[in-house]
Chains A and B, each alone.
Chain A
């Protein structure tokens, strides 16, 4: 038995947080959101794996603050009930709308931050290999890994085509209609070259026997001694929350 934060633990945590986003009060959701944000800085297993992930987190933090504020204001303006507590531009802000906005915003933040912290702290290739070891088909795994490969190459390729088209006079800076035509002069060679490359790559994969590759048969937990107690605890907690919520709903 071991007690550590590994990939299955993180997945279980995301599940628990998503359940809480619909099952617990907004106060508890706000606390959970703050805990998630703090864990990004304080818990090594939740720290960003790269600078890009760290920047993505910071950008989303600012963006989510803006979204939450907008949700609060919008609902305070439009859901008229309870007493007013302020005004914006002559329009009154209502308490009922504010509380509805808080509930919506807290749920949204909990849902989004749970996934975000999972992804920034988990290298995608590790996630793909984990899924593959647990039965994800070789074809799907290959698609995911090739996508990461293309995501590295595509911006440079688009830029090259853009420059090449600009050099032969494509109207990239002209009026809207001309620029729309220029869109095709970039998309067309991009799509055509991708189809040609896909055919060649597909052929190359077949020539290396990929399509007849056997599916991985690795067991998720090969022996009881390797089970992660933390993962099991979190899953158990998720079950308790679900049952409690159902019981509350049934009992009115």
Chain B
């Protein structure tokens, strides 16, 4: 198993991939600066992970997301450490659908984003419920409160809140990455392992 994992990483982490993954980890941690400056209510804290998943591969995306969360913990938000399984799932799932070629067509990107959001909600629910009682000090806490007031258990309330917000958030992130990569020249991208998943007969080099 360990040998298999090492081989996958060796396959994906070629020379240019190393600095690119590092850049995407940093992007995960600083993308909020862009949205804050433009006053757009998005976090984009997974955009780097999704970029790596599409352009490099699923294993590197898991590494990217996990490392970003560990560094976020190191920089003053230790709660992020506990959501590593969530970002790992985001990276793995996105890398897998990218391998299937879903990032070539807009409607598959849309479907992928929604599925990703559902998956993220399912994985994050037990973490959020058990460790945080559903409290994340954000606007979504009121959604949890609302679902609980309807008589649902904590776990169900957190899950419903996740299902209400995560698919939208992930759909937007997927769409942003799709629009970003579709116009990048393939000859430039060809040095990254995942670029082959973007190749179509009509796409100019």
Contacts and interface: CB of A to CB of B under 8 A. Distances in A.
Interface in A188-219: 188, 190-192, 194-199, 201-203, 205-206, 210-211
A57 interface: yes
A182 B39 CA distance: 11
A115 B81 contact: yes
B203 to A, nearest CB: 16
Given A143-B63, A198-B17, A203-B15, A187 B75 contact: no
B140 interface: no
Contact of A116 (B18, B78, B180): B78
Contacts, number: 175
A54 to B, nearest CB: 10
A179 interface: yes
If over half of A's interface residues share one DSSP class (helix, strand or loop), that class is named, otherwise mixed; here it is helix
Interface residues of A, number: 67
Contacts of A158: 30, 33-34
A199 B73 contact: no
A194 B55 CA distance: 13
B22 interface: yes
Nearest to A152: B26
A201 B17 CA distance: 10
A140 B132 contact: no
Interface in B134-190: 134-135, 137, 141, 145, 148-149, 154, 176, 179-180, 183-184, 188-189
A184 interface: yes
Contacts of B27: 154, 190, 194
B25 interface: yes
B71 interface: yes
